[in-house]
């Protein structure tokens, strides 16, 4: 180009001797730069990408376009990506093999102009770049990075499927790089992550080491504190305050046990909350026990876990009412769901105890709101009465003022293995007969699978040395129960009525309580013929097992398992 300029300038110089002048053009090509534009910077093998180049000149602190530029194109690695010049300033890049290649564009008529360089990644439809962290515990979130990883629909470690973390799949539209996350559940083991996508499968390049204990360990004698006021992990599901479906009952030495202790705190005791503890794995979970308590501490001097003297709790083996144990018969369970209309305190404790031959998975979830297993079966007007001290107040405390007084209403077992506490007062001075009667209220055309049991208990009173004692119960199969008791009356004569469902089936039921000295027996809340037609269905209820319906999408169901009664000391909760 300079030779041509010199020739032209020489000709003009000669002519200038007769009056013309020559102005030699200033070469400004170092101030010219080539830019390459593309809709994205990745290609799948065999795909093509159309790219465009343009030249700009630096003028002061700004840039202006340079017209009429001819571009030359090249690929730094033709074995990975090729480039073909098209018409004008465009070119076509074709992906050949996995890797990164620089596509270069030069301004042919500006030999000192800065060249354009665009790095293109060529990839298979699914390629894992990295898995983080390299060392993970049970319940920890594992993040997978790479091309197309957001399309993975199954990942596993050591043959154990990982649990997808909601809303974690993302993809950068420009670079093509994606991310997806999973919980690591027991009994996953150290291995290269296996992935399965749409017609694509393989293993990550590096091994992810799995430490066989969960992320909250050690939390056996010191609780893991979870502040519910901070909100939950997903803005899309603001009602979920805490969720981890991949916690672990770790392997324990023979004849020993372990425990996990969580302390959920909040300044809010007015809103409704629901706690889910889910055991979804099949296998040996003998000895697994769960408790939800409103007070708990650990004392080495006292030999274990200690609640305040008047503490209540709900457990998978027995309950506690004002510091005293109550163990109604219940079918083996694999989930515990406790919905509360207002928390009993600013601190709710969840304690799980276990003794297992190998690691077992469990899930723990807390939501803000009152959750029910069957939307047709809502909490009754006596809620919250999951803890017995709730029965001491309001409509849950019933006074039978005269011999003809009758209480009759329809209540609900709104979650599996729920318990309803009511309290009756017997004013007067003489003993009197009181009748208690329950009956199922199934939906029309649906068989009744519930198995409601009724218990009558004394109210604990430290000043009179009265303990929590069962004075009468009907635990026969079926939900039609009847108990007639001779009870003491008087200014402070009160009794608790506890209703549970042995089968763990959400159900509606009717309850009638009457002083029967002069009154007729409680009438059945449903027609006798209808009650009789349910007898066949109820005759096999105690052989049936129903898992709790914790319907969060990432808590996975599994077949029911057999279980055993717990070995907790009923006073101090000392681990065996």
**Interval 303-346: pLDDT, tens:** 777 776 666 777 776 788 887 888 888 887 777 888 888 877 78
Residues 6+ apart with CB under 8 A from 510: 408, 409, 410, 411, 438, 439, 441, 525, 526
What is the C-alpha to C-alpha distance for residues 341 and 352, in angstroms, rounded to an integer?
23
Among the CATH numbers 1.10.10.60, 3.30.1380.20, 2.60.120.380, 3.10.310.10, which is that of 224-368?
A: 2.60.120.380
List the domain boundaries for the chain: 29-123, 127-214, 224-368, 388-543
| CATH code of the domain occupying 388-543 | 2.60.120.380
| CATH code of the domain occupying 127-214 | 2.60.40.10
More confident residue, 334 or 296: 296
Q: What is the CA radius of gyration of the chain?
A: 37
Average pLDDT rounded to a whole number, residues 386-402: 85
pLDDT (0 to 100) of residue 209: 97
At residue 292, φ and ψ (nearest 5 deg) are -115, 120
Task: Tell me if 339 sits within 8 A of 366, measured CB to CB.
Answer: no
Of the pLDDT bands very low, low, confident and very high (cuts 50, 70, 90), residue 28 is low
Residue 404 has pLDDT above 90, yes or no: no
Of the pLDDT bands very low, low, confident and very high (cuts 50, 70, 90), residue 156 is very high
Answer whether 29-123 and 127-214 agree in fold: yes
Global pTM value: 0.77
Residue 573 has pLDDT above 70, yes or no: no
- CATH architecture for the domain at 29-123: Sandwich (2.60)
pLDDT tens string 80-96: 999 999 988 999 999 99
Structure letter (DSSP) for residue 31? G
* CA quadruple 237, 239, 242, 245: dihedral, nearest 10: -60
């Amino acid at each position: 180009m300079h030779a041509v300029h010199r020739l032209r300038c020489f000709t003009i110089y000669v002519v200038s001797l007769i009056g013309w002048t020559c102005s030699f053009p200033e070469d400004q090509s170092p101030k010219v730069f080539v830019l390459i534009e593309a809709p994205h910077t990745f290609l799948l093998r065999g795909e093509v990408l159309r790219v465009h180049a343009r030249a700009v000149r630096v003028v002061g602190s700004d840039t202006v376009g340079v017209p009429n530029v001819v571009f030359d194109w090249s690929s730094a690695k033709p074995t990975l990506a090729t480039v073909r010049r098209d018409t004008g300033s465009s070119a076509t890049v074709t992906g050949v093999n996995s890797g990164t290649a620089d596509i270069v564009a030069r301004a042919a008529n500006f030999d000192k102009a800065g060249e354009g360089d665009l790095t293109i990644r060529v990839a298979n439809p699914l390629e894992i770049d990295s898995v983080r962290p390299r060392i993970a515990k049970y319940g920890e979130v594992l993040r997978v990075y790479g091309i197309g990883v957001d399309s993975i629909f199954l990942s596993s470690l050591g043959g154990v499927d990982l649990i997808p973390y909601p809303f974690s799949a993302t993809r950068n539209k420009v670079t093509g790089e994606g991310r997806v996350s999973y919980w690591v559940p027991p009994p996953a083991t150290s291995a290269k992550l296996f992935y399965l996508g749409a017609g694509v499968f393989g293993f990550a390049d590096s091994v992810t080491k799995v430490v066989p204990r969960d992320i909250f360990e050690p939390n056996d004698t010191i609780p893991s504190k979870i502040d519910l006021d901070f909100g939950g992990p997903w803005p899309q599901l603001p009602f979920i305050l805490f969720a981890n479906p991949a916690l672990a009952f770790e392997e324990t030495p023979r004849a020993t046990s372990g425990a996990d202790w969580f302390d959920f705190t909040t300044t809010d005791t007015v809103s409704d909350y629901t706690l889910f503890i889910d055991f979804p794995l099949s296998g040996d979970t003998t000895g697994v026990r769960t408790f939800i308590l409103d007070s708990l501490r650990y004392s080495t001097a006292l030999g274990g876990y200690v609640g305040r003297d008047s503490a209540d709790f709900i457990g998978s083996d027995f309950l506690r009412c004002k510091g005293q144990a109550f163990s109604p018969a219940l079918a083996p369970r694999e989930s515990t769901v406790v919905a509360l209309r207002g928390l009993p305190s600013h601190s709710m404790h969840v304690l799980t105890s276990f003794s297992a031959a190998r690691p077992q998975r469990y899930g723990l979830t807390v939501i803000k709101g009152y959750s029910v297993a069957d939307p047709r079966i809502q909490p009754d007007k006596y809620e919250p009465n999951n803890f017995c001290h709730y029965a001491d107040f309001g409509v849950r405390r019933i006074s039978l003022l005269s011999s003809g007084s009758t209480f009759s209403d329809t209540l609900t077992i709104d979650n599996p293995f729920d318990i309803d506490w009511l309290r009756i007062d017997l004013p007067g001075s003489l003993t009197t007969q009181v009748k208690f009667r329950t009956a199922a209220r199934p939906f029309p055309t649906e068989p009744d699978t519930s198995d409601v049991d009724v218990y009558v208990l004394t109210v604990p009173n430290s000043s009179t040395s009265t303990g929590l004692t069962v004075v009468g119960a009907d635990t026969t199969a079926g939900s039609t129960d009847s108990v007639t008791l001779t009870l003491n009356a008087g200014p402070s004569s009160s009794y608790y009525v506890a209703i549970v469902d042995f089968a763990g089936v959400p159900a509606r039921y009717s309850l009638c309580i009457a002083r029967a000295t002069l009154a007729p027996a409680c009438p059945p809340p449903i027609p006798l013929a209808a009650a009789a037609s349910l007898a066949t269905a109820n005759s096999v209820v105690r052989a049936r097992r129903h898992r709790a319906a914790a319907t969060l999408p990432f808590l996975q169901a599994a077949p029911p398992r057999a279980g055993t009664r717990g070995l907790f000391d009923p006073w101090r909760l000392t681990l065996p």
